[in-house]
Amino acid sequence: MFCQICKKEQATVQQLEKHEDGEWAYCQMCEKCALAAEAGSSATHPVGKMLIEGAKKKAAASKSTPGDAFACPGCGLAYAIFSKQRRLGCGLCYDSFRSDVEQIFRRVQQHTNHRGKVPGRPQREVRPSAELDELRSKLQRAIEEERFEDAALFRDKMRRLTEGGGA
Amino acid sequence: MSQFPGDEWLRGEGPDEDIVLCTRVRLARNIEGHCFAIAQDDDEAEAVASTVATALHPIAERHGWRWHDLRDVTTLDRRCLVERHLISRELEEAERARGVLFDEHGRASIMVNEEDHLRIQVFRSGLRMQEAWEAADAIDDEIAACLEYAWSNEFGFLTSCPTNTGTGMRISVLMHLPALVIAKEIEKATSAIHEMDMTVRGLYGEGSQDFGDLFQISNQKTLGASEQEILKSLEGAVQSLIEWERRQRTRFQEAPIHVADRAWRAVGILERARKLSSEETMSLVSRIRLGQVLEIIDSPTLQQMSRIFLLTQPGHLQQRAGSPLGPSERDELRAQLVRQILHDS
């Protein structure tokens, strides 16, 4: 299979990338293009430029995608860095960047729910989910509407619930 | 001389050992209340490393694991740990507080503060997925009893990269597939594996395909299936590859002169060469290994091949020399070491 970026060399690397249309997917690349994408180095390199500009364009246009300036209230990780590095900064990032995370799951995992083992700590109880689900929805709406102080309040409430009831 | 030339993954025994060198199960975990690697500052990294090392101390004592703070390990020794597969390149190159626990036979290692706070790795020689999974699962439960994992009912174990979320489990099987390479069927075989939602990479990760005819087959998905379901799917893919490789080897056994000639020429080069690159060495070792497992040649031994495999890697060579070496110097030392290993029996 040929590299999806340069279309000249054989693809030997599979990397999670956010495309111009804002969609996450695995991208098959040759080593040279993969290194360029990873370093992000190159705002001047065709790969880096395409990926970074595409992500910014989509984030600016989309109501459900946070802007680059948005940071997770849990750890301070900026959306722009998550989008470029494809790494989350804490457990709360899963909610802060929920729409992207779910999109990544649908594309590369083809599932969005865990069906495997539960951590073996006996004291841990399955937390009451209704209140947390409601708080999560409120957190998500607050993020979308850029009401970050409200988002921080909902985050703190979720943390207190989680610490109190185990997860 | 030790019975085994290196760690568990090179022991060369176990089910389907003629094709499968090693099975590895890796579990990715983060602890609640701390940032993941990308969001850590120095203080946070220190706190994570210290918290985990302290909490794991009694478990480490029970298992006979030793703790190594990687900031106290030399560059050369870190490289050797990568070559022994006890740590990853990411852990080697990171600059934050981090470390690793492992036992003297390399049957398990726990990386601390790599991409995730904990990376539990269990190795078993040959094809032993269920055994490796059960061992990793048991270690995971021991750790969960003293550290609270970052976890959600919805997404399971919360990892730094979304491609690990859920079970956090990656099973990898290291396979020697020289017959498929010689028969030019390896691309067809690896495409078939991709169709089963598994990944195929070379020994040293992406881009190192065909290095010594060694391939790592791993599950791609970690979310939406149980650990046993993932294990069974991978088992199916690996068994298909084993059958495919064996069928091709059977054809070679019908005309053994070709395999014998390739193997004996390889022995000749290894015994006489004065300079050997890594790539050439691994290619020659692969030819000899095929001849050995088909019982077409009986010397040198598989043990000698395993020692060559481990000890001629760049980090190990430089550790032996006691100092960094350039590529040309390494190639000379490699050839010298190979002649010495083949001479010792």
Tell me which chain B residues have a C-beta less than 8 angstroms from the C-beta of A162.
Answer: 32
- Predicted pLDDT at B193: 86
Residue B65: pLDDT band with limits 50, 70, 90: very high
Confidence check: pLDDT of B316 > 80: yes
Instruction: Return the higher-pLDDT residue of A94 and A163.
Output: A94
What is the arithmetic mean of pLDDT over B213-226? Answer: 93
Contact A114 B150 (CB under 8 A): no
Tell me which chain A residues have a C-beta less than 8 angstroms from the C-beta of B36.
Answer: 75, 87-90, 93
What is the arithmetic mean of pLDDT over A37-53? Answer: 45
Give ∠ CA B126-B130-B131 in degrees, rounded to 5. 65
- Predicted pLDDT at A164: 47
A113 touches chain B (CB under 8 A): yes
Of the residues B27, B29, B35, B141, the best mutation for testing chain A's interface (the one with the most A CB atoms within 10 Å of its CB) is B35
Contact A81 B38 (CB under 8 A): yes
pTM for the complete prediction? 0.80
Percent of chain A whose pLDDT exceeds 90? 16
Confidence check: pLDDT of A55 > 90: no
B133 touches chain A (CB under 8 A): no
Q: How far is CA B119 from CA A110, B52, B72, B160, B226, in A?
A: 24, 12, 20, 11, 19
What is the arithmetic mean of pLDDT over B252-279? Answer: 94
Contact A117 B137 (CB under 8 A): yes
Confidence check: pLDDT of A126 > 50: no
What the block records as the tokens of B132 is: 């490796």
8 Å CB contact between A59 and A22: yes
Residue A50: pLDDT band with limits 50, 70, 90: very low
- Predicted pLDDT at B4: 41
Instruction: Return the higher-pLDDT residue of B256 and A60.
Output: B256
Chain B residue with minimum CA distance to A126: B153
- Predicted pLDDT at A162: 56
Tell me which chain B residues have a C-beta less than 8 angstroms from the C-beta of A111.
Answer: 166, 221, 223-225
pLDDT digits (tens, 9 = 90+) for B171-210: 999 999 999 999 999 888 888 888 888 888 887 765 566 6
Nearest to B155 among A76, A86, A94 (CB): A94
8 Å CB contact between B154 and A113: yes
What is the arithmetic mean of pLDDT over A59-85? Answer: 75
Residue A1: pLDDT band with limits 50, 70, 90: low
Q: Does the N-terminal peptide bond of residue B300 adopt cis geometry, omega within 30 degrees of 0?
A: yes
- Provide CB contacts within 8 A for A4, sequence distance 6+: A11, A27, A28, A29
B215 touches chain A (CB under 8 A): no
pLDDT digits (tens, 9 = 90+) for B85-129: 999 999 999 999 999 999 988 899 999 999 999 999 999 999 999
Residue A159: pLDDT band with limits 50, 70, 90: low
The dihedrals phi and psi of B120, each to the nearest 5 degrees, come to -85, 125
Tell me which chain A residues have a C-beta less than 8 angstroms from the C-beta of B222.
Answer: 109
Q: Diameter of chain B by CA atoms? A: 64
Helix or strand or coil: residue B220? coil
B59 touches chain A (CB under 8 A): no
Contact A120 B140 (CB under 8 A): yes
What is the arithmetic mean of pLDDT over A98-120? Answer: 88
Chain B residue with minimum CA distance to A120: B141
B195 touches chain A (CB under 8 A): no
What's the complex ipTM? Answer: 0.86
Confidence check: pLDDT of A123 > 60: no
Mean pLDDT over the full length of chain A: 70
Confidence check: pLDDT of B138 > 60: yes
pLDDT digits (tens, 9 = 90+) for B146-159: 999 999 989 999 99
Confidence check: pLDDT of A46 > 50: no
Q: Which residues pair with B84 in a beta bridge?
A: none
- Predicted pLDDT at A7: 79
Contact A111 B223 (CB under 8 A): yes
Helix or strand or coil: residue A48? helix
- Chain A nearest-CA distance from B179, in A, is 21
8 Å CB contact between A54 and A21: yes
B43 touches chain A (CB under 8 A): no
Give ∠ CA B114-A158-B142 in degrees, rounded to 5. 45
B247-251 long-range Cβ contacts below 8 angstroms, 24+ apart: B248/B179, B248/B180, B248/B182, B248/B183, B248/B185, B249/B179, B249/B290, B249/B293, B249/B294, B251/B179, B251/B183
A102 touches chain B (CB under 8 A): no
8 Å CB contact between B162 and A101: yes
Confidence check: pLDDT of B16 > 70: yes
- Nearest CA to B29 among B92, B111, B107, B88? B111
Confidence check: pLDDT of B212 > 80: yes
Mean pLDDT over the full length of chain B: 91
Nearest to B38 among A87, A127, A129 (CB): A87
Q: How far is CA B64 from CA B70, B101, B121, in A?
A: 19, 9, 15
Contact A110 B224 (CB under 8 A): yes
Contact A76 B167 (CB under 8 A): no
- The gap from C-alpha B217 to its chain's centroid, in whole angstroms, comes to 11
Confidence check: pLDDT of A94 > 90: yes
Q: How far is CA B202 from CA B19, B72, B207, B211, B282, in A?
A: 15, 30, 7, 7, 12
Give ∠ CA A51-A55-A61 in degrees, rounded to 5. 145
Beta strands in B169-279 (DSSP E): 169-176, 198-202, 214-219
DSSP state of A10: B
